[in-house]
Amino acid sequence: MSFCERLWKINRLNVIHSMMREIYYGEFRLVLIQHIREVDAGNPAYQSTEWFLLRYLKRIEKTAEPPASPGRVENSMRALIRFYVDMIEEQSQLGERCRMINEEYRKTLRIRQEQNNKGQS
């Protein structure tokens, strides 16, 4: 790999990193808060699957507060996905809830990416 290619890759990574620093999680947080309220309304039993899901959702909601660090939000989302894969039935209501949250998170990232692509054009 030539020096110019390495420099281009480093520059590209810096651009991606700076784009990620500026993500606004407002709508995503609203969706999370709605899910937190719905799960909490069921008054989940201590250390039940719902109780643990509630803890994961609250952690994500907290990390998505402005100013949000994309790395922390991403790590919290990864933890939720691992929990979903390991502990939740795919066809259950909780499984559907986890998929909806992940879809909203991915939508937030796509919107930000599209905005950055328009700004670079």
Residues 68-87 have pLDDT tens digits of 777 889 999 999 999 999 99
Range of the domain at 34: 3-120
- Cβ pair 54, 40 in contact under 8 A: yes
Report the amino acid identity of residue 46: Y
Residues 7-47 have pLDDT tens digits of 555 555 554 444 445 567 888 999 999 999 999 999 999 99
pTM for the model stands at: 0.76
DSSP state of 69: P
Give the count of domains, the chain: 1
